[in-house]
Structure 1
Amino acid sequence: METKNILMLLTAHRYMEDTQSETGVWLGEFTDPYYIFLDAGCKVTLVTIQGGEPPIDPMSKLTEHITASNRRFLADKEAQFHLQNTLALQNVIPDPFDGLFIPGGHGPLWDLARSLESGRLILEFYKQRKPIAALCHGPAAFLMAAKLDPSFLLGKKVTSFTNTEEALVARKNNIPYELETVLKARGAEFTSATLPFTAHVEIDGDLITGQNPLSARQTATSLLERIAEKEASLGF
């Protein structure tokens, strides 16, 4: 079987608003999918808008948030090197890749949502009919894509970190907007789990979204399954 190439687009935004709290990539939302892709034999490429090392949300390093994949990452010098040396977005094109994965952390609300390069990359993946998965606050990256092409989110079933979850983590006053609200305003059909902080993944064609960190593994697995389905339909 041919090796699959997965591009992971990470936030590099560090600071919340009106507080000393920092944000960045939520560690488990990166490490859980990263190792699912590696263990499936995929090649994974990491990219941020400017390149280099993105910040990790300090809260995601706390004991209660440490996952098996986080511990694996802390012992994985090669993975740490790749995270410290992400490619710059301007140097990346979709052509070599089979799928795109966008982890969360609150950071995407700022940088990925406002980046023309990010929006264009997502639209190019979509035009090439390559699956795109985004997790938690990762779907904020869809907002620029929807600004460039208003049909992108129109009528699409998506999920993300919900307004209820935002209130429960007490960061509601330190973010520029609530993602659930804005996705709905862009025409998306928003879905979520009945209970906050339980796993929920929504699949609408080539768009795959996960609600929260507990949805990370299922979101990554769903991306791989969608890639396999598309290849099977083409007779690969």
Structure 2
Amino acid sequence: MINENTNQKKVLFVLTSHSELGNTGEKTGFWIEEFAAPYYFLKDKGVDITLASPKGGQPPIDPKSELADFQTPATDRYNKDEETQLLIANTVELSKVSSADYDAVFYPGGHGPLWDLAEDKESIALIESFYSSNKPVSAVCHAPAIFKHTKNTEGQPLVKGRKTTGFSNTEEDAVALTNVVPFLVEDMLTANGAIYSKSNDWAPYAVEDGLLITGQNPASSELVAEMLLKRLG
């Protein structure tokens, strides 16, 4: 039997497994909108998506992302979508995935990645493997934290000399977490030699530079997915 989906693109979504917001006693995790908007955009275009996280199973959801102020058509859809909720509850353990099986990788944000994915050796190796295999690496909001330790084939920071964006210092200040987070995304990208740019706080803004696609904040997540789909052809 002929497989009609031989040209179907496969994208790996990597979610945080970290749930503690520093020493505040509050919870964090991934931001629902930053998962849901790109997920449904790509899924509706026929992309096959696999969900993974460092620990596997249910990744923590940032409770603030469930508040009424932050609901969008994508989050409303997710809240009614038991099939996708089941997939989220059973993410694949990151150590069991290979870049060879996918055409691209996407990292949703939330504050969680600042603690685990930024330092996770499996994630770092995975990103470097995608990039060296000429496959797009995309991340939104706090998820560009993943580029803290990633290197290119010359051993330089992966983002060095590359146009990037991510959650800005002014946005972190606006949510009063500047002194809680382990590092600021904007400062880290700049320190790693990236050409960082941003738009107004909370405005949709995404940057593509070769294989790297980054978005500034939650409102930018679908824009990143649009750029990624175009890149995948």
- Same fold? TM cut 0.5: yes
Contact 1:118–1:144 (CA<8 Å) still a contact in 2?
A: no
**Is 1:179 the counterpart of 2:191 in the alignment?**
no
Query: 1:76-108 CA deviation, whole Å, 9 max, x = no partner?
Result: 111011100000011000112111100000111
Q: Which amino acid aligns with 1:29?
A: E
**Is 1:62 the counterpart of 2:67 in the alignment?**
yes
Q: Which amino acid aligns with 1:46?
A: L
Displacement of 1:18: 2.5
Query: 1:161-181 CA deviation, whole Å, 9 max, x = no partner?
Result: 000100001111211111111
**Is 1:41 the counterpart of 2:46 in the alignment?**
yes
Q: Which runs of 4+ in 1 moved over 3 A?
A: 146-149
Greater helix content: 1
Paired with 2:32 and 2:152, the residues of 1 have a C-alpha distance of 28
Partner of 2:218 in structure 1?
213
Task: Report % sequence identity.
Answer: 41
Partner of 1:125 in structure 2?
130
Partner of 1:83 in structure 2?
88
1:73 to 58, 70, 78: 78
2:120 to 115, 134, 139: 115
Contact 2:171–2:201 (CA<8 Å) still a contact in 1?
A: yes
Contact 1:10–1:46 (CA<8 Å) still a contact in 2?
A: yes
Q: How many residues align?
A: 227
Paired with 1:62 and 1:114, the residues of 2 have a C-alpha distance of 29
Instruction: Using structure 2 for the length normalisation, give the TM-score.
Output: 0.94
Instruction: Using structure 1 for the length normalisation, give the TM-score.
Output: 0.93
Q: Which amino acid aligns with 1:150?
A: Q
Q: Which amino acid aligns with 2:167?
A: F
Paired with 1:85 and 1:147, the residues of 2 have a C-alpha distance of 32
Secondary structure of 2:13's match? strand
Paired with 1:182 and 1:146, the residues of 2 have a C-alpha distance of 14
Paired with 1:215 and 1:81, the residues of 2 have a C-alpha distance of 25
Paired with 1:175 and 1:12, the residues of 2 have a C-alpha distance of 16
Displacement of 1:7: 0.3
1:152 to 140, 154, 158: 158
Q: Which amino acid aligns with 1:114?
A: E
Structure 1 unaligned residues grouped into runs of 5+? 229-236
CA RMSD between the two structures: 1.3
